[in-house]
Amino acid sequence: MQLDRAFFARSVHEVAPELIGATFLVDGVGGIIVEVEAYHHTEPAAHSYRGETPRNRVMFGPPGFVYVYRSYGIHWCVNFVCEPKGSASAVLIRAVEPTDGIETMRRRRRLEDIRALCSGPGKLTEALGITNAHNELALDAAPLALYSRMTSDVEVITGVRIGLTKAVELPWRYGLKGSKFLSKPFPDPPKSSSRAAQATKRSRALP
């Protein structure tokens, strides 16, 4: 089922994890979203934190549109605008598992390794042919298409966002557990030592 703009008219924290497993295509080229990051206007890592500018104006508009910007003057990054008009929140698409138009992606990226084609926000925009020309386009109209998960058997893992200097502690990165197409592995959750657990039990048993 193709997702419409209403899907994005919710909290960015609801939309972001539900995008994991969805299929994103640009002119029929793309694949399964396996990694995203959420950005909310109330936190300083969001481009909208300091208010509306010509660059980020689409974030302040209605949900279900694309926000494309150039990162460090080198790579394009693609975001999906969420929440009601004026909220200025969005989801950054960080990694995609290629499924459609793989040879086109390989030609654009000039490499063969399928796992490296879209394993990063700048890599996937190059592979899918996304540029500033796609900024402010609707996600439910050509040349873009976004389809819901094909299965309910999707396990989403979380972690802190990557490459930030502000709001670095927020666990707003979401990924598909076990995926080989992530931009960077998620750290394993801390494991409690059995000795420590036994010591805790003993200490609780003491009067």
Q: Which CATH class is domain 5-205?
A: alpha beta
How far apart CA 64 and CA 140 sit, in angstroms, is 8
Per-residue pLDDT in tens (0 to 9) along the chain, 207 residues = 999 999 999 999 999 999 999 999 999 999 999 999 999 999 999 999 999 999 999 999 999 999 999 998 899 999 999 999 999 999 999 999 999 999 999 999 999 999 999 999 999 999 999 999 999 999 999 999 999 998 888 999 999 999 999 999 999 999 999 999 999 999 876 554 344 334 334 333 434
Of 139, 192, 156, 187, the closest CA to residue 37 belongs to 156
Tell me the torsion sign for CA atoms 29, 122, 34, 36. negative
Domain ranges of the chain: 5-205
How far apart CA 204 and CA 196 sit, in angstroms, is 12
φ, ψ of residue 69 in degrees (nearest 5): -140, 160
Give yes or no for a contact between 115 and 43, defined as CB atoms under 8 angstroms apart: no
Biggest CA–CA distance in the chain, Å, is 71
